[in-house]
Amino acid sequence: MGVRLPDSVTRLARPLAWASLVGNIGIVVTGGAVRLTASGLGCPTWPRCTEESFTPHGELDLHSAIEFGNRLITFVLSAIAIATFIVMWRTGRRELRSLALILGLGVPAQAVIGGITVLTDLNPWVVAFHLLCSMAMTGVAVLLLWRVHDQPPALGRGRLPVLAWAMFAVTWVVLYLGTVVTGSGPHAGDVDAPRNGLDPLQMSQLHADSVFLLLGLTVALVCVAPAPARRAAVTLLAVELGQGTIGFVQYFTDLPEILVGFHMLGAALTSAAATWLLLAVRAADRADPAR
């Protein structure tokens, strides 16, 4: 087991680790709202909102308010990241400090990438990279939460972790292909934003095929994972089934914005649940050398 944190630190570290996870998932949702309301260029430049001002005023409309509001949420995430780093530094544990630093540096990095998406008129490949970075930060937040709760380092090297790593790799294939499907579809973030030029039907089929593979790997882990990791496997399976249901319904109902928004939330939850399952399986395998 990990070295327990002092109670005075734990009282702050654990809520802040949860706040980091919720905040990184939240930025995915708010970013999705920007795109789904065609507000991606509501502030047509960066870092200013307009050529004259950092804030939209005068000709302020709904699109500008939504885009500017999403930018403001970055400051909330920054405050969480700074507080998290300060508290994790007090723990004296190098791993917690490093994870908090990664999350902290991820905020300005994401802001710059977001600025590039605006300056490139919402290039779909840049938008996809922006979303995938948020998914990665969600995974890092899960790892921080895992270690803050005094869970053992995930160092197992048996056959079961190989299956978990395969699940994790396919999860990222699914997430990536999801961004490719989005880049070929109608919700570009602005009526004049470019698309990636790929066939939405073919990309959707490829995405669905990868989802079926992920479901198969997850079911296998539900069946063979030891008890401490089985709950994580069941959780991921539940998220995948929910995501699959939303995905099929939105496909056959011409992609209504509300369902696409829930699908983006589900993608962030998939990243979090897959990371949790990988950590749980590797830790359980490490705890049972006979496996």
pLDDT tens, position by position, 187-201: 766 666 778 888 888
**What's the one-letter identity of residue 85?**
F
pLDDT at 165: 95
Average pLDDT over residues 26-50: 80
- How far CA 285 is from CA of 148, 247, 282, in Å, comes to 20, 33, 5
> Are the C-beta atoms of residues 80 and 20 closer than 8 Å to each other?
yes
Radius of gyration of the chain (CA): 20
Q: pTM value? A: 0.87
Is the predicted pLDDT of residue 263 greater than 70, yes or no? Answer: yes
pLDDT at 102: 96
pLDDT at 61: 67
| Cα 268 to Cα 284: distance, rounded to the nearest angstrom | 24
Placement of tokens 């885009």 in the chain: 67
| Cα 39 to Cα 32: distance, rounded to the nearest angstrom | 10
Top-confidence residue, 274 or 61: 274
Helix (H, G, I), strand (E, B) or coil at 19: helix
Average pLDDT over residues 149-157: 57
**Picking from 54-58, 75-79, 247-251, which range would have the lowest pLDDT averaged per residue?**
54-58
pLDDT at 59: 54
Is the predicted pLDDT of residue 40 greater than 90, yes or no? Answer: no
pLDDT at 57: 61
For 84-137, what is each residue's pLDDT tens digit? Answer: 999 999 888 889 999 999 999 999 999 999 889 888 888 989 999 999 999 999
At residue 228 the predicted structure's pLDDT band, cuts being 50, 70 and 90, is confident
φ/ψ of 269, rounded to 5, equals: -65, -35
Is the predicted pLDDT of residue 206 greater than 60, yes or no? Answer: yes
Is the predicted pLDDT of residue 285 greater than 70, yes or no? Answer: no
Q: Where are the domains of the chain?
A: 1-151, 155-291
Is the predicted pLDDT of residue 45 greater than 70, yes or no? Answer: yes
> Are the C-beta atoms of residues 183 and 125 closer than 8 Å to each other?
yes
At residue 2 the predicted structure's pLDDT band, cuts being 50, 70 and 90, is very low
DSSP state letters, 32-94:
HHHHHTT-TTSS-SSSSSSSS-SS--SS--HHHHHHHHHHHHHHHHHHHHHHHHHHHHHHT-H
pLDDT at 240: 96
* Per-position b or e across 94-103, b if 16+ CB within 10 A of its CB: eebeebbebb
Mean pLDDT estimate for the chain: 85
Q: Per 3-state DSSP, what percentage of the chain is helix, strand, and coil (rounded to 5)?
A: 75, 0, 25
103 Cβ contact partners less than 8 Å away, ≥ 6 residues apart? 20, 24, 81, 84, 85, 137, 140, 141, 144
